[in-house]
Structure 1
Protein backbone atom coordinates (compact mmCIF):
# COMPACT_ATOMS: atom_id res chain seq x y z
CA UNK A 1 0.00 0.00 0.00
CA UNK A 2 1.32 3.40 -0.96
CA UNK A 3 1.02 6.13 1.67
CA UNK A 4 -0.36 9.25 0.01
CA UNK A 5 -1.39 12.76 1.01
CA UNK A 6 -4.96 11.54 1.24
CA UNK A 7 -3.99 9.07 3.99
CA UNK A 8 -2.13 11.79 5.86
CA UNK A 9 -5.11 14.15 5.61
CA UNK A 10 -7.41 11.38 6.81
CA UNK A 11 -5.24 10.69 9.86
CA UNK A 12 -4.97 14.41 10.64
CA UNK A 13 -8.74 14.87 10.43
CA UNK A 14 -9.37 11.81 12.61
CA UNK A 15 -6.98 13.14 15.26
CA UNK A 16 -8.51 16.61 15.02
CA UNK A 17 -11.99 15.13 15.44
CA UNK A 18 -10.92 13.14 18.49
CA UNK A 19 -9.30 16.24 20.02
CA UNK A 20 -12.37 18.30 19.17
CA UNK A 21 -14.56 15.79 21.02
CA UNK A 22 -12.26 15.09 23.97
CA UNK A 23 -10.81 18.59 24.34
CA UNK A 24 -13.73 20.23 26.17
CA UNK A 25 -14.01 17.23 28.50
CA UNK A 26 -10.35 17.35 29.41
CA UNK A 27 -10.25 21.14 29.77
CA UNK A 28 -13.32 21.19 32.01
CA UNK A 29 -11.79 18.44 34.13
CA UNK A 30 -8.63 20.51 34.57
CA UNK A 31 -10.07 23.96 35.23
CA UNK A 32 -13.46 23.19 36.86
CA UNK A 33 -13.81 24.09 40.54
CA UNK A 34 -13.86 21.13 42.89
CA UNK A 35 -16.29 21.64 45.76
CA UNK A 36 -17.49 18.92 48.05
CA UNK A 37 -20.28 19.41 50.54
CA UNK A 38 -22.44 22.46 51.09
CA UNK A 39 -25.43 22.95 48.84
CA UNK A 40 -23.78 21.05 46.00
CA UNK A 41 -24.74 17.75 47.59
CA UNK A 42 -28.40 18.71 47.93
CA UNK A 43 -30.90 17.38 45.42
CA UNK A 44 -32.46 19.88 43.01
CA UNK A 45 -29.90 22.66 43.24
CA UNK A 46 -32.33 25.48 42.61
CA UNK A 47 -31.48 27.78 45.49
CA UNK A 48 -34.20 26.55 47.82
CA UNK A 49 -33.44 24.07 50.53
CA UNK A 50 -35.62 20.98 50.15
CA UNK A 51 -38.39 20.34 52.65
CA UNK A 52 -38.92 16.75 53.77
CA UNK A 53 -37.45 13.73 52.12
CA UNK A 54 -35.81 14.15 48.76
CA UNK A 55 -36.15 10.46 48.01
CA UNK A 56 -39.92 10.15 47.64
CA UNK A 57 -40.91 6.76 46.36
CA UNK A 58 -43.45 6.27 43.63
CA UNK A 59 -45.63 3.20 43.63
CA UNK A 60 -45.12 0.44 41.10
CA UNK A 61 -48.52 1.28 39.63
CA UNK A 62 -47.24 4.66 38.46
CA UNK A 63 -44.51 3.06 36.36
CA UNK A 64 -46.89 0.40 35.11
CA UNK A 65 -49.34 3.02 33.85
CA UNK A 66 -46.48 4.94 32.26
CA UNK A 67 -45.37 1.83 30.36
CA UNK A 68 -48.90 1.09 29.18
CA UNK A 69 -49.29 4.70 28.07
CA UNK A 70 -46.04 4.53 26.10
CA UNK A 71 -47.02 1.25 24.47
CA UNK A 72 -50.36 2.59 23.25
CA UNK A 73 -48.85 5.94 22.31
CA UNK A 74 -46.28 4.25 20.09
CA UNK A 75 -49.06 2.23 18.48
CA UNK A 76 -50.95 5.42 17.73
CA UNK A 77 -47.80 6.96 16.24
CA UNK A 78 -47.91 4.25 13.57
CA UNK A 79 -51.04 5.95 12.23
CA UNK A 80 -49.17 9.08 11.10
CA UNK A 81 -47.24 7.42 8.24
CA UNK A 82 -50.47 5.73 7.17
CA UNK A 83 -52.24 9.09 7.13
CA UNK A 84 -49.53 10.65 4.97
CA UNK A 85 -49.46 7.68 2.56
CA UNK A 86 -53.22 7.22 2.32
CA UNK A 87 -53.94 9.93 -0.32
CA UNK A 88 -51.39 8.30 -2.65
CA UNK A 89 -52.71 4.76 -2.26
CA UNK A 90 -55.00 2.98 -4.66
CA UNK A 91 -57.95 0.86 -3.71
CA UNK A 92 -59.31 -0.17 -0.35
CA UNK A 93 -56.41 -2.38 0.78
CA UNK A 94 -54.68 0.35 2.90
CA UNK A 95 -58.02 1.23 4.48
CA UNK A 96 -58.65 -2.43 5.34
CA UNK A 97 -55.16 -2.72 6.86
CA UNK A 98 -55.82 0.42 8.90
CA UNK A 99 -59.08 -1.01 10.23
CA UNK A 100 -57.35 -4.29 11.11
CA UNK A 101 -54.70 -2.36 13.05
CA UNK A 102 -57.32 -0.29 14.88
CA UNK A 103 -59.36 -3.43 15.61
CA UNK A 104 -56.35 -5.18 17.18
CA UNK A 105 -55.57 -2.04 19.19
CA UNK A 106 -59.17 -1.81 20.39
CA UNK A 107 -59.28 -5.51 21.30
CA UNK A 108 -56.07 -5.13 23.31
CA UNK A 109 -57.54 -2.16 25.20
CA UNK A 110 -60.68 -4.17 25.98
CA UNK A 111 -58.54 -7.13 27.08
CA UNK A 112 -56.47 -4.97 29.45
CA UNK A 113 -59.61 -3.29 30.75
CA UNK A 114 -61.24 -6.65 31.54
CA UNK A 115 -58.07 -7.84 33.27
CA UNK A 116 -58.32 -4.82 35.57
CA UNK A 117 -55.10 -3.19 34.44
CA UNK A 118 -56.65 0.28 34.25
CA UNK A 119 -58.05 0.21 37.78
CA UNK A 120 -55.69 1.82 40.26
CA UNK A 121 -55.32 -0.42 43.33
CA UNK A 122 -54.96 1.21 46.73
CA UNK A 123 -52.00 -0.88 47.76
CA UNK A 124 -49.94 -3.58 46.16
CA UNK A 125 -49.12 -6.53 48.34
CA UNK A 126 -45.91 -8.24 47.36
Structure 2
Protein backbone atom coordinates (compact mmCIF):
# COMPACT_ATOMS: atom_id res chain seq x y z
CA UNK A 1 0.00 0.00 0.00
CA UNK A 2 1.22 3.50 -0.87
CA UNK A 3 1.78 6.13 1.82
CA UNK A 4 -0.99 8.67 2.36
CA UNK A 5 1.12 11.60 1.06
CA UNK A 6 1.89 9.76 -2.18
CA UNK A 7 -1.78 8.91 -2.66
CA UNK A 8 -2.78 12.57 -2.29
CA UNK A 9 -0.11 13.49 -4.85
CA UNK A 10 -1.45 10.90 -7.29
CA UNK A 11 -4.99 12.11 -6.63
CA UNK A 12 -3.96 15.71 -7.42
CA UNK A 13 -2.27 14.61 -10.65
CA UNK A 14 -5.32 12.55 -11.64
CA UNK A 15 -7.58 15.52 -10.89
CA UNK A 16 -5.44 17.86 -13.03
CA UNK A 17 -5.44 15.29 -15.83
CA UNK A 18 -9.22 14.92 -15.63
CA UNK A 19 -9.77 18.70 -15.69
CA UNK A 20 -7.39 19.00 -18.65
CA UNK A 21 -9.26 16.33 -20.60
CA UNK A 22 -12.58 17.98 -19.78
CA UNK A 23 -11.30 21.37 -20.99
CA UNK A 24 -10.12 19.74 -24.21
CA UNK A 25 -13.17 17.58 -24.95
CA UNK A 26 -16.11 19.75 -23.86
CA UNK A 27 -15.54 22.52 -26.48
CA UNK A 28 -15.34 19.87 -29.20
CA UNK A 29 -18.63 18.33 -28.08
CA UNK A 30 -20.32 21.73 -27.80
CA UNK A 31 -19.18 22.73 -31.30
CA UNK A 32 -20.53 19.45 -32.70
CA UNK A 33 -23.92 20.16 -31.15
CA UNK A 34 -24.16 23.83 -32.18
CA UNK A 35 -22.62 24.07 -35.66
CA UNK A 36 -24.75 23.65 -38.77
CA UNK A 37 -23.38 21.19 -41.27
CA UNK A 38 -23.20 22.25 -44.90
CA UNK A 39 -23.42 19.91 -47.85
CA UNK A 40 -23.32 20.33 -51.58
CA UNK A 41 -20.95 21.03 -54.43
CA UNK A 42 -19.76 24.38 -53.11
CA UNK A 43 -18.39 22.79 -49.96
CA UNK A 44 -15.43 21.33 -51.85
CA UNK A 45 -14.56 24.55 -53.70
CA UNK A 46 -11.57 26.67 -52.76
CA UNK A 47 -12.61 29.77 -50.81
CA UNK A 48 -10.40 32.81 -50.47
CA UNK A 49 -11.63 36.08 -48.96
CA UNK A 50 -15.15 35.70 -50.30
CA UNK A 51 -14.01 35.64 -53.92
CA UNK A 52 -14.82 32.81 -56.28
CA UNK A 53 -11.79 31.14 -57.77
CA UNK A 54 -10.93 31.56 -61.42
CA UNK A 55 -9.27 28.56 -62.98
CA UNK A 56 -7.56 25.79 -61.10
CA UNK A 57 -6.56 26.26 -57.48
CA UNK A 58 -3.57 23.97 -58.05
CA UNK A 59 -0.67 26.17 -59.03
CA UNK A 60 3.01 26.33 -58.26
CA UNK A 61 4.37 29.03 -56.00
CA UNK A 62 7.82 30.50 -56.25
CA UNK A 63 10.45 29.67 -53.65
CA UNK A 64 10.17 33.24 -52.36
CA UNK A 65 7.10 32.28 -50.31
CA UNK A 66 9.03 29.55 -48.58
CA UNK A 67 12.08 31.74 -48.03
CA UNK A 68 9.89 34.41 -46.41
CA UNK A 69 8.35 31.75 -44.18
CA UNK A 70 11.75 30.41 -43.13
CA UNK A 71 13.14 33.88 -42.41
CA UNK A 72 10.02 34.74 -40.40
CA UNK A 73 10.28 31.51 -38.44
CA UNK A 74 13.95 32.01 -37.66
CA UNK A 75 13.49 35.56 -36.42
CA UNK A 76 10.28 34.73 -34.59
CA UNK A 77 12.06 32.06 -32.58
CA UNK A 78 14.98 34.39 -31.91
CA UNK A 79 12.72 37.15 -30.65
CA UNK A 80 10.96 34.68 -28.37
CA UNK A 81 14.41 33.78 -27.04
CA UNK A 82 14.94 37.38 -25.95
CA UNK A 83 12.09 37.37 -23.41
CA UNK A 84 13.47 34.70 -21.07
CA UNK A 85 16.95 36.16 -21.53
CA UNK A 86 15.68 39.54 -20.40
CA UNK A 87 14.11 37.94 -17.33
CA UNK A 88 17.14 35.83 -16.46
CA UNK A 89 19.64 38.65 -16.78
CA UNK A 90 19.63 41.48 -14.36
CA UNK A 91 22.50 41.05 -11.92
CA UNK A 92 25.23 42.28 -14.32
CA UNK A 93 23.30 44.86 -16.30
CA UNK A 94 26.06 46.20 -18.58
CA UNK A 95 27.50 42.83 -19.54
CA UNK A 96 24.04 41.37 -20.14
CA UNK A 97 23.05 44.32 -22.29
CA UNK A 98 26.20 43.93 -24.39
CA UNK A 99 25.48 40.22 -24.89
CA UNK A 100 21.91 40.92 -26.04
CA UNK A 101 23.14 43.69 -28.37
CA UNK A 102 25.66 41.28 -29.90
CA UNK A 103 22.89 38.68 -30.37
CA UNK A 104 20.56 41.19 -32.02
CA UNK A 105 23.48 42.48 -34.10
CA UNK A 106 24.14 39.01 -35.48
CA UNK A 107 20.44 38.72 -36.32
CA UNK A 108 20.63 42.08 -38.05
CA UNK A 109 23.58 40.88 -40.10
CA UNK A 110 21.44 37.95 -41.27
CA UNK A 111 18.74 40.38 -42.40
CA UNK A 112 21.29 42.53 -44.22
CA UNK A 113 22.74 39.43 -45.90
CA UNK A 114 19.29 38.30 -47.07
CA UNK A 115 18.53 41.81 -48.29
CA UNK A 116 21.80 42.01 -50.26
CA UNK A 117 21.08 38.61 -51.83
CA UNK A 118 17.72 39.97 -53.08
CA UNK A 119 15.55 37.71 -50.99
CA UNK A 120 13.11 40.51 -50.15
CA UNK A 121 12.55 41.52 -53.77
CA UNK A 122 9.23 40.23 -54.98
CA UNK A 123 9.52 38.66 -58.43
CA UNK A 124 6.22 38.26 -60.26
CA UNK A 125 5.92 35.68 -63.01
CA UNK A 126 3.83 36.76 -65.97
Give the drift of 1:66: 2.2
Task: Compare relative contact order (CA 8 Å, sep 6+) and give the higher one, 1 or 2.
Answer: 2
Number of residue pairs aligned between Structure 1 and Structure 2: 105
Q: Aligned partners of 2:123, 2:41: CA distance in 1, in Å?
A: 41
| CA offsets 1:14-44 (integer angstroms, 9 cap, x no match) | xxx9xxx9xx8xxx9xxxx9x7x64443344
1:77 aligns with 2:80: yes
- The normalised TM-score by structure 2 is 0.52
CA contact under 8 A between 2:46 and 2:53: conserved in structure 1?
A: no
Shift of 1:84: 2.1
Name the TM-score, length of structure 1 as normaliser.
0.52
Alignment RMSD: 4.3
Matches of 2:86 and 2:57, distance apart in 1: 44
**TM superposition shift of 1:101:** 0.5
Unmatched 5+ stretches in structure 1: 1-16
**Structure 1 pair 105–52 and aligned structure 2 pair: CA distance change class (3 A):** same
What does residue 3 of structure 1 align with? none
Q: Which has the larger radius of gyration?
A: 1
Query: Match of 1:114?
Result: 116
2:3 maps to none
CA distance in structure 2 between the aligned counterparts of 1:40 and 1:117, rounded to whole angstroms: 37
**Aligned counterpart for 1:68 among listed residues 41, 65, 71:** 71
Indicate if the aligned counterparts of 1:43 and 1:54 stay in contact, CA closer than 8 A. no
The answer on whether the counterparts of 2:114 and 2:120 sit within 8 Å (CA) in structure 1 is yes
